[in-house]
């Protein structure tokens, strides 16, 4: 009888590079993580626009012509889709993180989510009014 049997050799399964294709939820998660790149792109786009506006009318017109090019349009449409995914998944997460109490009772998570969507809609309407109607 051996006093110290050698420890069992553990098998450590390798993690596949394509693990994120195994489930829909994993894929959605990876796409959501990727969306930060497009959020950053919109920030850059906004800064370019502000810079163009600051530089004068001609510069702004050049910016508009540039942003009307097909590849910029396609990029912005893709970016919009990713930013919407980012926003929707963020708002769906909010009721998980926030526990709101009113009158000693917990507000149902769906109301917390609905309040976020309502706030989003309100801010969008106000911004649309400033941008489109306010001038």
Partner 1 sequence: MPDTITMQVARYRPETDRAPTIQAYTVPLRAEWAVLDGLNYIKDQLDGTLSFRWSCRMGICGSCGMTVNGDPALTCGTFLADYAPGPVRVEPLTNFPVIRDLVVSIDDFMRKLPRVKPWLIRDGDSRIGAGELLQTPGQLDDFKQFSMCINCMLCYAACPVYAAEPDFLGPAAIALAQRYNLDSRDQGAHERLDLLASPEGVWACTYVGECSAACPKGVDPAGAIQRYKLTAATRTLREFLLPRAAR
Q: Which is nearer to partner 1, 29 or 66 (CB)?
A: 29
Given the structure tokens 């390798």, which residue do they identify?
Answer: 14
**Structure token digits, residue 51:** 């810079």
Q: Which is nearer to partner 1, 32 or 49 (CB)?
A: 32
Q: Which residue from 73, 79, 76 is spatially nearest to 31, judged by alpha carbons?
A: 79
CA distances from 74 to 15, 56, 77 (A): 35, 26, 5
Q: Does 10 bind partner 1 (CB under 8 A)?
A: yes
The answer to whether residues 110 and 94 touch, using CB atoms and an 8 Å cutoff, is no
Q: Return the residue of 99, 108, 114, 128 that touches partner 1, per CB under 8 A.
A: 99
Q: Does 13 bind partner 1 (CB under 8 A)?
A: yes
Q: Which is nearer to partner 1, 24 or 68 (CB)?
A: 24
What is the binding site for partner 1 (CB under 8 A)?
8-13, 15, 19-20, 22-23, 25-26, 29, 33, 93, 96-99, 104
């Amino acid at each position: 009888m051996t006093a110290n049997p050698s420890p069992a050799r553990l098998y450590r399964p390798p993690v596949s590079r394509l693990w994120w294709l195994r489930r829909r939820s994993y894929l959605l998660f990876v796409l959501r993580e990727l969306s930060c790149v497009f959020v950053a792109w919109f920030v850059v786009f906004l800064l370019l626009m502000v810079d163009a506006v600051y530089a004068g009318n001609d510069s702004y017109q050049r910016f508009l012509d540039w942003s009307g090019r097909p590849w910029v349009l396609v990029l912005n449409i893709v970016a919009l889709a990713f930013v919407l995914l980012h926003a929707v998944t963020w708002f769906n997460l909010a009721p998980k993180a926030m526990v709101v109490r009113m009158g000693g009772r917990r507000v149902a998570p769906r109301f917390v989510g609905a309040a976020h969507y309502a706030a989003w809609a309100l801010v969008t309407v106000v911004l649309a009014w400033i941008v489109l109607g306010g001038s």
